[in-house]
Structure 1
Amino acid sequence: MPKSRISDNLDAQSGSTSSAADRRTPVKLNATGTPRWYIVLMLGLMLLGLAWLVVNYIAGDKIPFMQDLDAWNYLIGFGLFIVGLLMTMGWK
């Protein structure tokens, strides 16, 4: 089967017989990855925020300190959850 003119031009310019795809090697950008404590903290904050909201919804009127916080319970629960979600951007 005849070769295309494009690959013939590439080989002639580089002076070798191998194609450009054969010369490329994969490069790892970050070989270390994310530390385990970061992932545990990220998931823990998301679960804690979710648990705070669920407990507030189910039994918030029976728990004295949650009664005192009133609408701040939503800010605390969603705040914890959003901080956990924002941490996912640093997860590799």
Structure 2
Amino acid sequence: MPESKGRKKPQPTTPEQTTRPKAVKVGNPSWFVPVMLGLMIIGLLWVVVFYVTSQQYPVPSLGRWNLGVGFAFMLTGFMMTTRWR
């Protein structure tokens, strides 16, 4: 059986063709993960402090809205996980 000849690639003729394009960095900035984890931990601590102190702290004037603040911190951290690469 005859063997097929390999195809020759055209040789680059200009300097632009000889250099490869630079790879685009894929990922998040270095501050992204610490902020994401920090928000989730702050939210968790906020809710725990609220329950441990018999609903008097971290901000007494907010009352039960302290739960909303804590869950907002946690939700923001979890929403950041969808953008994490």
TM-score, reference length from structure 1: 0.60
Could you tell me which of 57, 62, 75 is aligned with 2:51?
A: 57
2:38: which partner in 1? 44
1:78 paired residue number: 71
Structure 1 distance, partners of 2:80, 2:72, is 12
Per-residue deviation, 1:58: 0.3
How much is the aligned-residue C-alpha RMSD, in angstroms?
2.3
- Give 1 or 2: higher helix fraction: 1
Q: How much has 1:59 moved relative to structure 2? A: 1.3
Contact 1:45 1:81 in 2 (8 A): yes
- Runs of 4 or more above 4 Å deviation: none
